[in-house]
Structures are given as structure tokens and as C-alpha cells.
Amino acid sequence: MRDYVFPGGTAVVTGAASGIGEALAHGLARRGAHLVLLDRDADRLDAVVAAIRTAHPDRRIETHLVDLADADATDRVAAAVRAAHPRIRLLVNNAGVALGGRFDQVTLDEFLWVVDINFRAVVRLTHALLPALKAEPGAHLVNISSLFGLIAPAGQAAYSASKFAVRGFTEALRHELVDDGVGVTSVHPGGIRTRIAASARVGSGVPVAEYEAGRKQFEKLLSIDPAKAAEVILRGVERRRGRVLIGWSAKLPDLLARLAPASYGKVLALGMRPPRAAAPAPTGAVTTGSGGPA
């Protein structure tokens, strides 16, 4: 498959108002792409668009406000994007949310909220926009999984379940779409310095003191600049890489899980000594689609 060509193509990015999504929007604009940006935070999204238009006045930029937890709203936005853009060169499913707490400390509604945004919205948008990708020669699909789509530590049942699902979905699509000439990349960021930990929901059964201790511990791991992460992702897209791991905080746990798939949890516990309820996952961008704080 030939290298991906950025200039002149239309790129759709979810969760574009902050974090990795914002950095991807800037990186794509610098590379000559036209943008369709989705988020639920109107003020932050407007600021991103204003900055890009100042730097790149010739880029076409379209925005959509959407709560990705709302399936009907997601479907409506997807249909509108496809109608306006029958040919899309790049789709980046970046939006995501986190939930702190063990499985027995969260409600079923809280658990499914994470799954709805982190996985089901990815499936909905990809299904709706795949015909537009297949209609554009040299198109590419990027789904942002996580470090916790490679390992599943205690306290991350909802988040890991959703991100492992994204990983499996993406790997299957990579095999299915190769004959259509559509590249597919699964991205696994490590400790990216975004707002996801600060803005995550807390399980209803998690004691506040316990959660805060875990959150502060995980925030220490968030050391990678989102702009650096975006550049790694875009280089991976250009080279048509099937999987992108960002930072040693993703690469080392991935190696550990490969070497000790049934017992790496003991090593994680020794190395991190987390409290009983783990804090939000140290990865990814804050969602445009959540019903919670952004």
C-alpha cells in the first residue's frame, strides 16, 4: 500500500476540542488536509478552529457538536457528514472517556456509558462513513485504543473492556479492508498529558479519598505532550502502520503482557502499588461525546 497523502484530503476527527484530537487537527492542517471536527464542547472547539484558521486560512473546516453517548445524535451527525462529504480520506475515532472504580464499585449505567462512547460510537461512525472512505483512493482509518487496550489493570474494567473492543474491532477491519485499499491503524497511547484523568467520572461506590489518591498517582504518569503524540500518529498513518504505540509507558507494558500474559498484574501491582480503586486511564483525549464534564 502506498504512503498516505495528506494534502487536499478531507479528515474527520472526533474529540477535536482538546488533547490528542486538538493536536491532530493542527497537525493535519499543517499537512494540507481539510477538516471535519466533532466535539461536544462548543467553546473549546471554536477556539481550536479559530487558531487553525489563523494559521491556515485556506483550509476548509467544518464542525459538528455532538454527544457521542447519544446514539441517535451520533447517527444524525454521521449521516450529515457523509452527505456533505461522499469521499473522506481519513477518519480518526479519537474521542473517549474514563471511569474510576472497580467493577463492583460502579453501576451498570456507568459501565455502559463508557462502552457507548469509547466503543459503540466508534462502530457507529465507522459503519456510517466507511462507504465514503472506500470511495476515496488511498483512504485511512485510525481508531484510538489505549495502553489499557493492551493491559487491563485492576480498577479499569469498563475502560479496558471498551479499549480492548476497539483494538479487536480495528484489527478485524485491517484484515477486511486491505483489498479495498483502505489502511487501518490501531493507536495505543501511554501517558499522554491530557484532561482525561481530571475530567473522568468516578464510580458511585468509590470513596472520594480512595479515588483522589489513585488519580494523583496516575496523573504523575501523564508526561507526553499531546502534540508529540499526534505527530507519532500521523507518521504512522503516512507509513500505513497497522499499530502505533506511543511512549515507553505503552511499549514496556505491551512487552510485559506478551511475556507474562496471565501474571503481569502482579508486576504492575509491585511497580505501582495502586489503591484498591484505580484512577482514570492515563491516555487519550477527553471526549466530545460524553454527557459528563469535558
Catalytically active residues are 159
Joined together, the cell numbers standing for residue 282 give 492515563
Contact of 19 with 227, CB cutoff 8 Å: no
Rounded CA separation 104/98 (Å): 16
Task: Kindly give the pairing relationship between strand 99-100 and strand 201-202.
Answer: parallel
Rounded CA separation 157/100 (Å): 9
Helix (H), strand (E), coil (C) string for 187-219: EEECCECCCHHHHCEECCCCCHHHHHHHHHHHH
Contact of 201 with 110, CB cutoff 8 Å: yes
Query: To which H or E segment does residue 184 belong?
Result: strand 183-189
Query: To which H or E segment does residue 171 belong?
Result: helix 157-176
Q: Dihedrals φ, ψ of 128, to 5°?
A: -70, -35
* Nearest Cα residue to 117 out of 144, 139, 91: 144
Q: 141 has which bridge partners?
A: 91, 184
Q: 39 has which bridge partners?
A: 65
Residue-wise DSSP of 30-59: HTT-EEEEEES-HHHHHHHHHHHHHH-TTS
Contact of 88 with 132, CB cutoff 8 Å: yes
> CB count, 10 Å around CB of 293?
12
